[in-house]
Amino acid sequence: MLIKIKRGWEISENRVTPENVFANRRQFMQGALGGAALLGVGIGGAAFAAEGGDPMADLYPGKANPAFGALERPLTPEKLSSTYNNFYEFASHKQISESAQALKTRPWEIRIDGLVRNPQTLDIDRLIRQMPLEERVYRHRCVERWSMVVPWTGFPLAGILKLADPEPEARYVRMETFQNPDIASGQQQFWYPWPYIEGVTVEEAQNDLAFLVTGAYGKPLAKQFGAPLRLALPWKYGFKSIKSIVRFTLTDARPVSFWEQTNAEEYGFWANVNPQVDHPRWSQAVEQPLGTDSTVPSVLFNGYADQVAGLYKNMNGQNIYM
Ligand SMILES: Nc1nc2c(c(=O)[nH]1)N[C@H]1C(S)=C(S)[C@@H](COP(=O)(O)O)O[C@H]1N2
Ligand SMILES: [Mo]
C-alpha cells in the first residue's frame, strides 16, 4: 500500500503564489531575526561560539574562483538563506535553523567504500585540510520553485574519487547523510526512508561543477546548510544536493534516492532543471528568488548548460529532467 504523506513541496498551485509564501516568510523573519538581533549574534555564529569555535575557521573565506563568480542575479542575503531551509531530518518545514543547532558536527567521520581500491574512513578536518578550498557563487533551484544564489566554499567532488581510486566497474557515487533520530527529530517520522540518500554517475561526479561544500558566506558551513559537508549540484533540482554527508560509496547499481524511494512518480534520479518539463503537480517555467516578491524565468540546466549538457548527449529515452 502506498502511504500518502505530505511533503513540503506538496503545495497546490495557489499556495505557491508569491503573496502567500512571502507573507508567511516575512512573519517568520520578523520573529526569528528579531530574536537573533537582540542577542547580537547570528544563529550560526552563536553555535560556533558555543562549541568553542570551528576548528577550520582559519580557512575561510576561501579564495574566490572567478570562473564561478559573476552571475546576473544578486546574492541571496545570508539572513534569508540561513533561515529558510529544507532539511527534513529536523522537520518537514523550512524553519529548522534553530533545531538544526543540535547536530554535533565534531568529531565527524567520512567513510569512503564500495568499488574502490582505497576504502578509508577519514576525520572531516583531515579531509578539509588536504583539499584545495575555493569560493564559488552558485545558483540553487529547488524543485518547489524557490531559488537562491549563494557563495559556497569547498572543493570539487572529484577530489573524493581521487582519494577512493574507483574500480573500473564503479558507475555511480552513492552518498548518505547521518542518522541520529535522538538529535534529528524528523528522523522519528518512520514513514520516510532514512537515512537521506542521493546519487550521481561517476561522470557527473567528475564534472568540475559538482562541488562539496564546507563553508558559505565566507565562514564554516552553518548547521542548517548541512555542515560539516554537503553537496552542491547547481544544474539539478536542489534535493540532489545532499547535506551532512557521512559516506560515499562507489557502486555499479544506480542508487535510489530518499525522494525517489518516497515518490518515484515525481522525483527521479536525474532531476536536471528544465523549465519546459513540468513537475506532475506544477509548472517549472518560473522560480521565485528568496527575498523577492516576483518570479523570474527558470533556465535549462539552471544556467549551466555549457558545462553539463554534454553529460547527457546519448541518453535518448530516459527522462533526464525528472
Ligand atoms: N540530508 C538532506 N539533504 C538535503 C535535504 C534534506 O532534507 N536532507 N533537502 C534538499 C533540498 S529539497 C534542498 S532545496 C536543499 C536545501 O538546501 P538549503 O537549506 O541549504 O537551502 O537541500 C537538499 N539536501
Ligand atoms: Mo528542494
pLDDT of residue 44: 40
pLDDT digits (tens, 9 = 90+) for 58-92: 999 899 999 998 678 899 999 999 999 999 999 99
Q: Relative to the alpha carbon of 149, which ligand is closest?
A: 1
Which helix (H) or strand (E) element contains residue 124?
helix 124-130
* pTM listed for this prediction: 0.86
Whole-number Å distance, alpha carbon 226 to ligand 1 midpoint, is: 8
Which cell is 15 given? 499556495
pLDDT of residue 52: 55
Residues of the chain with pLDDT under 70: 1-52, 70
Domains and CATH numbers, the chain: 13-312 (3.90.420.10)
Q: In terms of Cα–Cα distance, which of 107, 129, 127, 110 is closest to 119?
A: 110
Pairwise CA distance, residues 173 & 252, whole Å: 9
Ligand 1 atom closest to Cα of residue 88: 7
What is the distance in A from the centroid of ligand 2 to the CA of 206? 23
Does the beta carbon of 272 sit less than 6 angstroms from any atom of ligand 1?
no
Rounded Cα distance, 14 and 7, in Å: 16
Distance 145 CA to ligand 2 centre (A): 8
Residues in the chain, how many? 322
Q: Whose CA is nearest to atom 10 of ligand 1?
A: 239
Question: 207 Cβ partners below 8 Å, 6+ apart?
Answer: 158, 307, 308, 311
The confidence score (pLDDT) of residue 61 equals 87
Cα of 121 from ligand 1 centre, angstroms: 24
Q: What share of the chain is helix, strand, coil (3-state, %, to 5)?
A: 30, 25, 50
Q: Are strands 146-156 and 286-289 parallel, antiparallel or unpaired?
A: parallel
Q: For a ligand 1 pocket test, name from 241, 245, 266, 279 the mutation site with the most ligand atoms within 8 angstroms of its C-beta.
A: 241
Closest CA to 171 of 260, 250, 104, 67: 250
Q: Is the CB of 177 under 6 A from ligand 1?
A: yes
pLDDT of residue 89: 98
87 lines ligand 1 (CB under 6 A): yes
Q: Are 54 and 48 in contact (CB under 8 A)?
A: yes
Ligand 1 atom nearest the C-alpha of 244 is 1
According to DSSP, the β-strands at 63-64 and 230-232 are unpaired
Nearest residue by C-alpha to atom 20 in ligand 1? 225
